[in-house]
Amino acid sequence: MATGIGIHDGSVGDEAFKVERRGIDYVPENERWATPRNIAALWAGTSINVEYFIYGALLMGFGFSFYTALAVIIIGNVSYFLLGLASLQGPRPVRRRS
């Protein structure tokens, strides 16, 4: 059951250690629990982690300035925009023959 603020708590239809059957197939509207806000929170949470501090320290250890290291990290992350665009295609629609 979802909480009042729209966060999925995993109690509706999700069983522990259950194998995902659909993969990248179409998920019917009545089985979708995530909103764009939930997905944005998921991506933000995975993007903000300690790796960036380590990458920055390594780049600065190689002689880059702070701003150059920051630019390299940002450019590297913006490249994932292409990955996001590639994931928007979704399933191919079924065309019926007449």
> How do the pLDDT tens digits run along the chain, 98 residues long?
444 445 555 555 566 777 777 777 888 888 887 888 888 888 887 777 777 788 888 988 999 999 998 898 888 888 888 888 887 776 666 677 76
Q: Write down the pLDDT at residue 13.
A: 58
| Overall pTM > 0.85 | no
DSSP one-letter string for 3-61: -TTS---S-SS--TTPPPS-TTS---GGG----HHHHHHHHHHHHSSTHHHHHHHHHHH
